[in-house]
Structure 1
């Protein structure tokens, strides 16, 4: 069946006016009429009828139009998917914890947009667990996470590592012994079940530290701010507290051998999509250029 005749009928069915359909398609009106007649002959049904000066679809015409609309919609989807494989374009959605959004992804996004201006970027700020859930549900195209990714459906690309550091404020450290800090003040940490909380528990078990009270927070930035208000002690990535440690506003109580690994995760079934592959390449390049990324940016 000739797609040109189907497209002609679709234009006529939408305009219900042969002259307008001819102008839309760049054909002459007699050519439009001949193509309609040929399609009607091929299908063995009448597709349009005229009452006075008005054109109407027949019952058969309405059925044919509904299927033609579906067919061209599917073809449009096919073209859309093929374009995604040829060059970056459209929407790219990234999910990542607040730290990455604020300090690192702004650089990656700037570079990506500069090289691929036809792509629109959307950024979700959320914890690592939520970021992985968004990727799994196709609500995000890729995610930057802290800690392990154990999903067999996802491909994980390591970016860098950093130490875990137990910290408190200078004021609390000077006023209390280490034992008092660990027993009288709350341990400020990630919410139960989060990606990093599992690693935190392993570190605490290694040194036999069992906090008597907890404060759970949604992000490491929130944990740091809570510590800075002299609330207690926390176990955080060294990159997050490096500036405060250098200034002396936070004091390192203990540095653990376990390290936080930062990774970029995507669904294995989507890893070769052009938007994802291109952005992934830029992320790895920028991360490597920022000192080998032994720490989070």
Structure 2
């Protein structure tokens, strides 16, 4: 078996795409496709099922992928241990994050981490909950920090890092922001701006409105990131519910204002998530430790 062919197959399987693997590896798509076919010929099996433009691992492909993952994780571990023996901690970490921790917390934490370990490269991938969980499953990221509660499958290991809160915000032009407290009834006619449906924040917004406050979820606009939501709220296109850690500076500078309902506080936890049988290299172990010990300092 040619390990180079196996490596190419491994990257294609991770991305579910020949073109994305080619982009990452700086190779042409026909080159990768040809060499994966050579691997299939060597093994005497079909590694992928093709449906139109989409590819999926075959049953044999899933079996080979599970062993390929173990092989290349072992190679990474060997590289880390050799670096340590030379007195140098270096390597690569791929970390996933949902929008709030990925955009507003982890960049500052990673910056502090890089001051201590300049030879460790950290690659941060931001997406919605479903996208990040899929990246964990396909080994595209080593672990992730995800906001909000979620019914994780047993294949995932989770550790609660801290509790943030979510707050309701509106434009300074919205009359509700001029009140100390508003009633749930005041929200019935308000258009809401929400995060995209495949996010924990969307689910939590629906829960707060329908179950906790008993008002219709009059969602008039759905946007893909918190920054876009904040600007839409500031433009008085609607009100929204967002994590406090994502909005602190905007509250301070008056871009948006908090809308309060007496007696209502909504917690929004952040979790460290990884695949159950994931083996971490030395750099990943160091970053996880830094996140667990210091994340509260960056909220």
Deviation of 1:210 after TM superposition, in Å, equals 0.4
Confirm whether residue 251 of structure 1 aligns to residue 253 of structure 2: no
**Map 1:110-149 → 2, pairs under 5 A:** 110-149=111-150
Confirm whether residue 277 of structure 1 aligns to residue 273 of structure 2: no
**Map 1:144-223 → 2, pairs under 5 A:** 144-149=145-150, 150-173=152-175, 182-204=187-209, 205-223=211-229
Confirm whether residue 82 of structure 1 aligns to residue 78 of structure 2: yes
Deviations for 1:111-150, whole angstroms, at most 9, x for unmatched residues? 3333333332212122233222211211111211111241
Query: 1:48 matched to which residue of 2?
Result: none
How has the CA–CA distance of structure 1 residues 277 and 76 changed in structure 2, closer, same or farther, with 3 Å as cutoff? closer
Structure 1 unaligned blocks of 5 or more: 1-65, 67-73, 291-296
Query: 2:242 matched to which residue of 1?
Result: 236
TM-score between both structures, scaled by the size of structure 1: 0.63
Whether the aligned pair in 2 keeps the contact of 1:95 and 1:144 (CA below 8 Å) is yes
Q: Distance in 2 between matches of 1:141 and 1:175?
A: 42
Q: Distance in 2 between matches of 1:77 and 1:155?
A: 18
Q: Which secondary structure state, in structure 2, belongs to the residue aligned with residue 287 of structure 1?
A: helix
Deviation of 1:265 after TM superposition, in Å, equals 1.3
Q: Which secondary structure state, in structure 2, belongs to the residue aligned with residue 151 of structure 1?
A: coil
Structure 2 unaligned blocks of 5 or more: 1-41, 43-69
Q: Which secondary structure state, in structure 2, belongs to the residue aligned with residue 189 of structure 1?
A: strand
Q: Which secondary structure state, in structure 2, belongs to the residue aligned with residue 171 of structure 1?
A: coil
Structure having the larger proportion of residues in helix: 1
Whether the aligned pair in 2 keeps the contact of 1:97 and 1:219 (CA below 8 Å) is no
Deviation of 1:273 after TM superposition, in Å, equals 3.3
Is the radius of gyration larger for structure 1 or structure 2? 1
Q: Distance in 2 between matches of 1:76 and 1:272?
A: 12
How has the CA–CA distance of structure 1 residues 270 and 85 changed in structure 2, closer, same or farther, with 3 Å as cutoff? farther
How has the CA–CA distance of structure 1 residues 196 and 117 changed in structure 2, closer, same or farther, with 3 Å as cutoff? same
Whether the aligned pair in 1 keeps the contact of 2:100 and 2:243 (CA below 8 Å) is no
Whether the aligned pair in 2 keeps the contact of 1:166 and 1:254 (CA below 8 Å) is yes
How has the CA–CA distance of structure 1 residues 283 and 104 changed in structure 2, closer, same or farther, with 3 Å as cutoff? same
Q: Distance in 1 between matches of 2:194 and 2:80?
A: 41
Q: Which secondary structure state, in structure 1, belongs to the residue aligned with residue 174 of structure 2?
A: helix
Number of paired residues?
A: 219
Query: 2:94 matched to which residue of 1?
Result: 93
Deviation of 1:230 after TM superposition, in Å, equals 0.8
Which stretch shows the higher mean deviation, 194-203 or 100-109? 100-109
How has the CA–CA distance of structure 1 residues 145 and 174 changed in structure 2, closer, same or farther, with 3 Å as cutoff? closer
Q: Distance in 1 between matches of 2:104 and 2:229?
A: 17
Deviations for 1:29-68, whole angstroms, at most 9, x for unmatched residues? xxxxxxxxxxxxxxxxxxxxxxxxxxxxxxxxxxxxx9xx
How has the CA–CA distance of structure 1 residues 114 and 142 changed in structure 2, closer, same or farther, with 3 Å as cutoff? same
Q: Distance in 1 between matches of 2:223 and 2:146?
A: 17
Whether the aligned pair in 2 keeps the contact of 1:188 and 1:227 (CA below 8 Å) is yes
